[in-house]
Structures are given as C-alpha cells and as structure tokens.
Amino acid sequence: MKNLNKTTQKLITTIAVIAVLYAIMQTMQSTGNLSSLMSGLLVPVCAYSLVAVGLNLCVGYLGELSLGHAGFMCVGAFTSAFFSKAFQESIPDVPRFILALVIGTCAAALFGFLIAIPVLRLSGDYLAIVTLAFGEIIKNVINVLYIGKDSSGLHFSMKDMMSLGMEPGGKILVNGPQGITGTPRQSTFTIAVILLILALVVAHNFVNSRTGRAVKAIRDNQIAAETVGLPITKYKLIAFTISAAIAGVGGVIYAHNINSLTATTNNFGYNMSIMILVYVVLGGIGNFSGSVIAAVVLTMLPEMLRGLSNYRMLIYSIVLIVLMLFNWAPGILKFREEHGITSKGILDRFKKHKEVQ
C-alpha cells in the first residue's frame, strides 16, 4: 500500500469505509436492529451519492457548472423503468435488470453527449444555462408522453391516452404526469453499493488517466492546453458524457426502488439539480468521497429531523447554511486553522492521543 500514490490510497480508504458501513448495515438489517426508515433510505442514499459523484466529475475536473444533472438522472430513471415495465413478462428478472441498467446509463450518456456537442465548444457559463433548460425540458416532455402496448406493438402519443388508439386490452406503460406505475422493485442495497463503488473507481481512474490529465489541464488553462495541441472539445465531451452516464446509473437505481415514478419539480426538476450541486459543493469540489458523505448526510438529515414536525425544513436550511459557512467562509477557516479544527489537525491530535496511550 505504501508504494501506491496518495489519491489511490484515498480511494481504497473510501471504498473500505463504504464496505465496512455496508457490512454493518447488512448485519443490523438481518438482525432486525435497523429501523424501517433507515432501511428504506439505504437505496435512495446510494442513488443520490451516485449522481453527486457524476456531477463532481463535471464540476470538479471539467470545471464546468451543470445545473441539469437531475435531468440526466430523470432520463436514466424513465428509460430503464420503461424498459423493465415493457419487458416485465418476457425477460427474466436478472438479465432484465442488467439490460435496464445498461439502457438507462446509455440513454443518459447519449443525452449528455448530444447536449455537450454544441455547448462545450463555447467558453463561459453556457453549459449551466443549457443544462438548466435541458432538465426542465426533459421533465415537461415526460409529463406529456404517453406510451401504451398492445398485441400490435407499442403506441406513442404526445397528446393524451385516447390518441394512442390502443386495443381495449392494451397496457399503458407511461401515462403522462402519472408516470410509470408498477416498476419491478429490483434495486437492492447490495446492487446500489456495488454500483457506487464501481462509479468511484471509474471516476478515480478516469481522473488519473491520460485523458483525465488532459481534462484537468484544460480546466486549469485552456489556452495553454490548446497550445500543446490537445483536442479540447473531444476531452471535454468524454468527461461530460461519463458524468452524465454516472448520473443515469443513479436514476436507474432510484427508479427501481419506487413503485410510482413521476417527474415533478421536487424529484427531477431544478430543485433536485441544485440539491445535487449542494452535495458536491458541501462535500468539496473535486473530492468524490466528500460528495458521497454530503449526499448521505443531507438525504438523512430531513428524515432524522422528523421529530421537529413542521420546523424541520427550517432547521434543515439553517444547518445547511452553518455547514457551508463552517466549510468555506474565510474567517471561519482562519479560526479553524488557528485552533486546529481542521480535518488534518483533528487527525493529528487523534494520532498523538493514540501514541500516548
């Protein structure tokens, strides 16, 4: 382990922590010590962590702001749920879920790719504007999308259920704003954790690969990178597509954990995109394990605060502001530096304490 570089060591530590937590959760669940609320939250937490990792790749390493990652999550969720629902009878569970996962990821990647082609050729904050619009468009398109299936095949409509022209026995798969109901519930905590670890490994290896170094060079100084002859657009496209694909995986996990999938402002609109950005900023831009921690804490927090009933959202926002200030405000950073309340300082003290013992 000593001869590995620092970032790899950090990755291994992160994965080890996730694995240990996973083992603890599994034991607690099997012995019945885990509350229903917690066991219900395990999968969504992983889904949001995945999207946060995806966005961190875009914000931290590509250096572009995306306000539409909930949109990519939405694409992943709906395409995979649609596939699972459409082939519920004809393909056995396991291969169908794997295919759904692949389809959801590819669909999200494809949309990411298509959006990035024109936008990433520009410099400036255009990606933020376009992705913000993309997220809203996707949400509204899904709300007017009707897909049905009968003996003669699939029927599509953007108007309403009647214009599908289905036979009486036909099954509605996507019912406009009512979304997809009855998606088979196949996301388990195990699958979610495996995918999360996989995403962390992919993101880490990508960042430290030849392509990743090029991406970082572009982020730090685009003109210099251009001068050495790096194909800017190509590298940006690759990074953004991977980022969207990881968000799509999060969407697949999310969709297969809930019976009724609808596209609303709360779960796939700009509210969610901003929320994911908050995970990334709070966890530390460019820090993947930080994103995971922030996603876990911020998803759990409002549920933990249920005891405060209607004050919980108020408390939640105050906690959020305090955390942000604690992490980023220069005055507080200086104070923390002086009094040793940094992660390094605490770790050092912890180590010294151990040695004394």
Partner 1 sequence: MKKRLLSLGLCAAMTASLFVGCGSNGSNGGGDNVETSGELTWRLGGIGPTTGGAAQYGQGVMNAIQIAVDEINEAGGINGYQISFNFQDDEADAQKSVNAYNTLKDWGMQILEGTVTSGACAAVSAETYNDRIFQITPSASSTSVTEGHDNTFQICFSDPNQGTVSADYIAENGLGTKIGIIYDSSDPYSSGVYQNFATEAANVGLEIVATEAFTADNKTDFSTQLQKCKDAKADLLFLPFYYTEGSIVLTQANQMGYAPTMFGVDGFDGLLGVENFDVKLAEGVYLLTPFAADAEDEATQNFVSKYEEQFGGTPNQFAADAYDGVYIIKEALEAANLTPEASNEEICDALISAIQEVNYNGLTGEGMTWNELGEVSKSPKAVIIQDGGYVSVQ
Q: How many residues bind partner 1 (CB under 8 A)?
A: 58
- Please give the Cα distance from 219 to 235 (Å, whole number): 11
Q: How far, in Å, CA of 197 to CA of 58, rounded?
A: 18
Q: With contacts defined by CB under 8 A, name the span among 29-37, 88-96, 109-117, 226-234 that binds partner 1.
A: 29-37
Segment contacting partner 1 (CB under 8 A): 50-58, 156-164, 226-234, 243-251? 156-164
Query: Out of 95, 122, 123, 140, which residue is the one contacting partner 1 (CB under 8 A)?
Result: 140
Of residues 8, 26, 88, 178, which one binds partner 1 by CB under 8 A? Answer: 178
- Supply angle C-alpha 88, 92, 97, rounded to 5: 75
Nearest alpha-carbon partner for 272 in 52, 38, 42: 52
Among the residue ranges 30-38, 186-194, 223-231, 238-246, the one whose residues contact partner 1 (CB under 8 A):
30-38
Query: Do 108 and 248 contact (CB within 8 A), yes or no?
Result: yes
With CB under 8 A as the contact rule, the residue among 157, 241, 262, 273 that binds partner 1 is: 262
Q: What b/e string do you get for 211-228 counting C-beta neighbours within 10 Å, with b at 16 or more?
A: ebebbbbbbeeeeebeee
355 class by beta-carbon count within 10 Å (0-12 exposed, 13-18 middle, 19+ buried): exposed
Distance of closest approach, residue 171 Cβ to partner 1, in angstroms: 12
* Cα 17–Cα 276–Cα 309 angle in degrees, nearest 5: 90
- Judged by beta carbon, residue 33 or residue 227, the one nearer partner 1 is 33
Contact (Cβ atoms closer than 8 angstroms) between residue 241 and residue 112: yes
Q: What share of the chain is helix, strand, coil (3-state, %, to 5)?
A: 75, 5, 20
**How many angstroms separate the CA atoms of 52 and 271, rounded?**
14
Could you tell me the smallest distance in angstroms from the CB atom of residue 36 to partner 1?
Answer: 4
Among 90, 151, 309, 357, binds partner 1 (CB under 8 A): 309
Burial of 16 (0-12, 13-18, 19+ CB in 10 A): exposed
Strands (E), 2-152: 146-150
188's tokens: 């388990």
* Beta pairing, strands 260-261 & 153-157: unpaired
Residue 109 binds partner 1, judged by CB under 8 A: no
Name residues contacting partner 1, limited to 180-219 (CB under 8 A). 181-182, 185
Binding string to partner 1 for residues 217 to 256, with x set by CB under 8 A, is what? -------------------------------------x--
Contact call for residue 33 and partner 1 (CB under 8 A): yes
Contact 181, 259 (CB under 8 A): yes
Stretch that binds partner 1, among 101-109, 112-120, 257-265, 329-337 (CB under 8 A): 257-265
Binders of partner 1 among 274-303, rule CB under 8 A?
303
Measured from the CB atom, is 27 or 123 closer to partner 1? 27
Q: With CB under 8 A as the contact rule, which of the stretches 38-46, 86-94, 207-215, 230-238 interacts with partner 1?
A: 38-46
Residue of 3, 6, 32, 331 interacting with partner 1 (CB under 8 A): 32
Read out DSSP for 175-195? EGGG-EE-------HHHHHHH
**Closer CB to partner 1, 102 or 304, in the complex:** 304
Our separate counts of H helices and E strands in the chain read 15, 5
Please pick, from the candidates 229, 307, 330, 331, the single residue that binds partner 1 as defined by CB under 8 A. Answer: 307
The verdict on 304 binding partner 1 (CB under 8 A) reads yes
330 or 350, CB closer to partner 1? Answer: 350
Which residues are at the interface with partner 1 (CB under 8 A)? 1, 13, 16-17, 20-21, 24-25, 28, 32-41, 44, 136, 140, 143-144, 160-162, 175-179, 181-182, 185, 254, 258-262, 264-267, 303-304, 306-310, 312-313, 347, 350-351, 354
